[in-house]
Chains A and B, each alone.
Chain A
Amino acid sequence: MDTSELIKKINRLAEGKKKLRIMEVCGTHTVAIFRAGIRQILPDNVELVSGPGCPVCVTNDDYIDTAIAYALEENFIVATFGDMLKVPGSRSSLAAAQAQGSNIKVIYSPLDCIKIAQDNPNKKIIFLAVGFETTAPTAAATVLSAQAKGLKNLFMLSAQKLVPPVLKFLLNSPDFRVDGFLLPGHVAVVIGADAFNFLSIPSAVAGFEAEEILLAIASVLEQIDNGRAEVANKYPAVVTAAGNVTAQKILSRVYEVADSEWRGMELIPNSGLRIREEFAKFDIEQVEPVKIEKVKKKNACRCGEVLRGLVNPTQCPLFGKACTPSRAVGACMVSVEGVCAAWYKYGSNNFRW
């Protein structure tokens, strides 16, 4: 079916219905939707709501504060994806620590840490392991590789998170009103489409091209139209029912499921990963714990509600005023995949040409 047919089908399925809210869970989808201008061509009663699928956005203040505390110490090199640099902790950011002279290296794969560790035998290298099921296997592979190479100066500061538990948490929240999910294609590649079968509302695993996203939206609307609720795999070229078993094995070799704190959602049971006892010597918090002061930040930032799809970014009083990508107050404004950053970059709610 070509794009214009697909758009017609979406319009037909939405016609005469109440306002329908579909959540795209993944930050990459949020950006792809803006880039392709999908919001602009959807019928008025179909609203896309962004979810908690940007890894640095859901990383909480305590984690950032801990990373900064390590970075400020002389003998550490902190290795991180570039997105993390500007994420505000309770009072500072890694970028600010870097400006003060901390040794922070931006990398593109956790495996880059191996070389940094080999090149700097007198320093302790900490990788900021944040992200979902997509990146966690590579972090696990890095730990296994460090062990095989006998590296003693490479560590993880782990805050990896799992997508299905947060969706369960959202569905069980009394104020959550969403009629369907666009499920993250990359996460589904690893964990498999079946991992989402517990969902009780219409859902579709989506790819990242405009047509693939439209196809998944059409599938969700079709399910609503038929009164069904299932997990449709609309990204079958790469997503299987069972997922990537090899990646899953590497992951569970190094990590075990644990409770995890999400920005704006507090502690969610079984929603994160913790390094197994056997690999404790790679867990910096066990090897050399650092103390941080627990601070509750007080400002008008509504990141938490944005991440749960309760408000859209423009409903935050700081959006585009006190909070912009160059001076972000909330984490959602920092990452290129952050909900607020995407809304800001692609027209600040002024989407119509």
Chain B
Amino acid sequence: MKIEIGHGGGGKMSAELLSGIILPALNNDTLRQLGDAATVGGLAFTTDSYVVRPLFFPGGDIGKLAVCGTVNDLAVSGAKPKYLSLALIIEEGFEQSELKKILNSVATAARAAGVEIVTGDTKVVGRGQADGMYINTAGIGELIKGVEISAKKICAGMKIIISGTLGDHSATILARRHGLELPEGIKSDCAPLNKMIAEMLRAEPGIAMMRDVTRGGLASVLNELAQASGLGILIEEEKIPVRREVRAFCDILGFDPLELANEGKIVAIVPERSAEKILTVLRGNIYGAEAALIGEVVEKPKGKVGLRTPIGAIRIVDMPAGELVPRIC
């Protein structure tokens, strides 16, 4: 059997590849937890590769993405991101001026996030053996004391908060790739969220769970959390923030905003008593201005995600199947 594009999509096919080939080969207790970052000896440790096409897009480029993605994975694991590595794979013939632009973005994003790039690697491959440039970053963060981000801490009655509008990143990349025009204001939400997350955790160290809402979108993240916690998650369609233009874009191309990748959005599961406080913190932050409380954790049905629609019906939100959108990040 051959690897298909869908195996990289973050949905069911990715999960099959992981459980079928990758985990059996490399099994250990830390890896098996499959968190956004591994936690080892008081540290959070993570890595991610970036193959986005196009390399430059409204709201960012591959360099900014490579820093923000790894920083956010550390931050949602309850860590303070500290150090990143940067590995470049460049295709022969790539313009040096473009490389400079990308490295400037890396530097700017690292400064904004308060992390240092402390090690790296550069490889060049022949023409046609890579599509311009790929980047890998790995990151280390210090776990924040008194914070435990874990699906085990999710309880019925807790509230679900999303930090802003869904689908902006995917819509931007897709539109750019297919030469479709999106209105002026629509751009990738790519952003380092570690400072905002630190503020949230200061306001409520008891936040049960956080995830960044990347590949597979909110549908994927909530299904994973429902399964991991053995509880149900019920969200309200009318409360989920999606820009009008992004919704129209989805309607035309047959995408579901709940399944679109984001690069600057997190979902948090928080105790009911501190939901309002956390929302206030989020809304006071540039990356959380449109944060919303979108639903709650329920006792039953176990392991399922439900969506209350505007006509008052509740329908099931399933895990996205494969890959609708390759090379989104």
Contacts and interface: CB of A to CB of B under 8 A. Distances in A.
Co-complex (A, B): yes
A63 interface: no
B315 A37 contact: yes
Nearest to A100: B2
B87 to A, nearest CB: 27
Contact of B309 (A35, A325, A326): A35
A7 B301 contact: no
A36 B313 contact: yes
Closest 4 CB pairs of A and B: A37-B313, A347-B316, A325-B321, A353-B314
A102 to B, nearest CB: 13
Nearest to B254: A336
B95 interface: no
Contacts of A3: 310-312
A197 B313 CA distance: 33
Given A37-B309, A99-B2, A211-B311, 8 more contacts: A3-B312, A7-B311, A37-B307, A41-B312, A210-B309, A345-B321, A346-B318, A353-B304
B63 interface: no
Interface of A: 3-4, 7, 34-41, 95, 99, 108, 210-211, 214, 324-326, 336-337, 344-348, 350-351, 353
10 contacts: A4-B312, A36-B310, A36-B311, A37-B313, A40-B315, A108-B180, A210-B310, A211-B311, A337-B254, A345-B318
Nearest to A345: B318
A35 B180 contact: no
Contacts of A41: 311-313
Contacts of A214: 311
Nearest to B306: A353
A348 B317 CA distance: 11
Given A99-B2, A210-B309, A210-B310, A346 B315 contact: yes
Interface of B: 2, 4-6, 11-13, 16, 178, 180, 234, 253-254, 301, 304, 306-307, 309-316, 318, 321-322
| Secondary structure type dominating chain B contacts | loop
Contact of B321 (A34, A40, A99, A326): A326
A37 B314 contact: yes
Nearest to B253: A108
Contact of A40 (B178, B304, B310, B314): B314
B180 to A, nearest CB: 7
Contacts of B253: 108
Contacts of A351: 315-316
B318 A344 contact: yes
Contacts of A326: 6, 11-13, 16, 321-322
Contacts of B315: 34-37, 40, 346-347, 351, 353
A130 to B, nearest CB: 15
A37 B311 CA distance: 8
Given A36-B309, A38-B311, A108-B180, A350 B316 contact: yes
Contact of B4 (A38, A99, A350, A353): A99
Contacts of B180: 108
A325 B307 CA distance: 21
Contacts of B318: 344-348
Nearest to B251: A208
A38 B313 contact: yes
Contacts of B12: 324-326
B316 A346 contact: yes
B299 to A, nearest CB: 12
Contacts of A7: 311
A9 to B, nearest CB: 14
A350 B316 CA distance: 8
Contacts of B311: 3, 7, 36-38, 41, 210-211, 214
A324 B321 contact: yes
A27 B247 CA distance: 19
A97 to B, nearest CB: 12
A87 B313 CA distance: 32
Nearest to A32: B251
A136 to B, nearest CB: 18
A333 to B, nearest CB: 10
Contacts of B6: 326
Contacts of B178: 108
A32 to B, nearest CB: 10
A324 B16 CA distance: 13
A39 B234 CA distance: 18
Contacts of B2: 99
Contacts of A34: 315
Contacts of A40: 313-315
A232 to B, nearest CB: 21
A216 B321 CA distance: 31
B321 A353 contact: no
